Structure 1
Amino acid sequence: MIELLAGPKAEDDLSAAALLALARDRKAAEDRAAADLLEVAARWADLHPPESIHSAAVFSDGGRYGLEHEESIAGEGCPAVAEFCVAELGTVLGISSTSAKRLIGHALELRHRLPRLWAQVQAGQVPAWRARTVAEATIHATPSLTIEAARWVDTQVGAVAGRVGPAQLDRLVAETIKRHHLDTHDPTSDPEDGWQHVDPRHATLHSDDVHYAGTMRFEAELDIADALDLDRALAHGAETLKAIGSAAPLDARRSAALGDLARTQTAFDLHAQGAPGASGTRDRDGLPVAREVVLHAHFDASFDGLDTVFGPTGRMEEGQRLVLLDQVQDWCGYSRTKVTVKPVIDLTAELTAPGYDIPDRIREQVILRDRTCVFPWCTRPARACDIDHVVPFDHDAHTEGRPQPGPTMSSNLAPECRWHHRLKTHSAWRYDVTGPGVYEWTSPHGHRYRRDHTGTTRINGSADDPAPPGRP
């Protein structure tokens, strides 16, 4: 039983009217806290203007590990911020750096370009989440909205206290682009009527929306002819699957038919005509070789004396989700599927290499051990990360006859996404290894976090530690 206290009275003692009043008060407090958080985010940005960057340098995308740079995270007219400041705020809030960057960007967009909506949020008239939805749309509009265009959106949305749905917001932004002639240089705009032609076609995989049954949602907007052709192909595929014995429902068979199309429909005419980028490589059946899609599935296994026995459920690296053994067996049953079984790697073994470069066997061990970037609350898959020497490798140690302080060994390596690798290298953030796959991070303001295979845990939250010199 969960007990909530409302003043001196426990929940069990409250009447229905009192419980409704309590719910109303809690929701009001939640909205007030969200509005206050936007204010805090904006003030945090004020404390970290580009001038706060110690090492004045121009960041170059061509450089492997660029220094901290100023970054514009909201629309035209909003102040830029020092790039790395978002990490500290994010970790304190228990969110990723990407989410913290979005929070700060929304706060600046509202305060500087949507002032009416900002005032309504701070007055409690519009929930923060509604205002942030509008800010997200005005920040990422294509083409970009000028300050005047954003203010026009602000006026329209503010007049209805932020009560606009996604479709209404899309239409409002499109009308704003037309009204302010922002599409004049757009080659897709129609000069006859001045309306911007926005191509709605897309095919989007929602990879973060993974169902517990092991499915993902795929959404598409097609040309009419393409849509009708695809519908006929799926209907035919579904009937074919039924004819060969599938007892699945129609929708499930149509879904499976779409997967079959992805594996077997390789645009024969384009390949035959020598389409740009077509390699001309053919499989044994004469069909062009489809692009290889690599999935990494991990299952516990045991040996019963005769065969290797796999557990019924495993882990899929892609999306960090559970996967059923039956599903993998089905995937492997397709004739055009390539299956590679890799040897078991002892994740606790201490592997070493003599130089700076990290051999594949050590890289794979670190990836499997840590799974994601090891910065607090970051979820970037380790396979897409840099492998960092926790204690930096000294390239001059050998020639100068000194012991190597940062050897290439399992216990001194950790995966970090490129952004957090740069953060660690060029800021006051520091971390130590306290056990196999266990890291303790210390922020520039003295906050400490433990990161291991279970996630991130705050070690302390004290804000009383003095900031490093030059840091507010």
Structure 2
Amino acid sequence: MTAARDEQPGLDDLGPSALLDALAVVDRRARQAEADKLQIAYQWAIMHPATAETGTSTWGGDSFLLTDESLGGDGCPGVEAFVAEPLAVTLEISPASARQLIADALDLRHRLPLCHGMVESLKVPAWKARRVATATHHLSREAALEVDRRLAPRLKHAGPRVIDKAIAMVIAKHQPDQQAEAEQAATAGWEVTLFTPEAPVFAGSSELHITGDTVGLTRLYKYACRQAKEAGKAGDDRPLGARKADALCGLVGGHPPVVEEEPLGDVTKPPHPTTAMTLYVHADLTDLLDEPVAVGEVERLGPITTTKLHEWIAHTRVKIQPVIWMDTGQTARPEPSVDRHDPPERIREQVILRDKTCVFPGCQVDARRCDVDHIEAYNPNGPPGQTAPSKLACLCRRHHRAKTAGLWRYWRLPAHLPDHYVWTGPCGITARA
């Protein structure tokens, strides 16, 4: 028996359900310990307020944060200089880490009350809330409160990518000029570089790295994929990657393209793009008409200014999607439904926009990569209206298979509840998403 098992002699005797129960107990203890640590750090901070005699503790020296402000962000009370060192010694961590702990504790209490409440109630582990606190530290208190309002309801099931993307979106909304500056500055980093390994590694292959406009490069990539697919249909049995590379090389000579480009037609008119691409941009129509810079959101990517959006529209086919009513379950407006298995595009789009990701607890697969599943199996001989938004949900292929295999079951709760789905699985597991 290993040393780890010697510390937990009873684990060998536990069954599957009991072992999961033990894991839940350990996790709750760990969450409580981290919440207590934040609470103690906060109490230590307010026990040592900044005064004219003590001075104010600041980031500096070996700090990794580029600011000379007090440890807490805008709206937090100041603390005395060198307040972090005793915590650092006690916890056996660096002074910079101790300063960060105090800063996060202050920010959560004074700038992110909803996220703080979720840590205190043990609904989320402290690391999630601290990630939000660190990322929003430089924002005004007003902007931090907006991040708190938008992100807290999603924090329970959000992973690092979802947290970071949500924060970036709110920051861009509050600071559109900085987002515009970042987009302009990014063009300075556009580059095309060729790397050719030397002998004895060289075997006739090189690497081309391109950094450029997202729309332009996406169209180029789509072109390569389309050409490679058609080459495969024509009998080219080389690996897909080789066919993609060959398609791009064919643009400047060598192998002719497999797929003919669309004719330009009347040369007095600007040609339509020959390689279509799809981007889902969420923005208010009024933002597109206003003179000041506004910010929208590109699904899967993040914030975008209307200035950059105008640039893309000028060279890209655009489809305007009307606003989809998302509150059919809470108003007198009738819910759309059809009497067939496959939902029409409008219902499918409503389900995708509502769920955003796979609805299995903790799964972060984007809804647009998911199957739209009937929560209750569709019955061809059943009642009408079985295919409606409230009876559908987004499941990634993995969790769709788990449901189909009977390992897991789920149902949808009323829309006004914070968690919309209840799942049951092996060993009597029940979880909400």
TM-score, normalising length: structure 1: 0.37
Q: Which has the higher helix share?
A: 2
TM-score normalised over the length of structure 2: 0.40
Structure with the larger strand share: 1
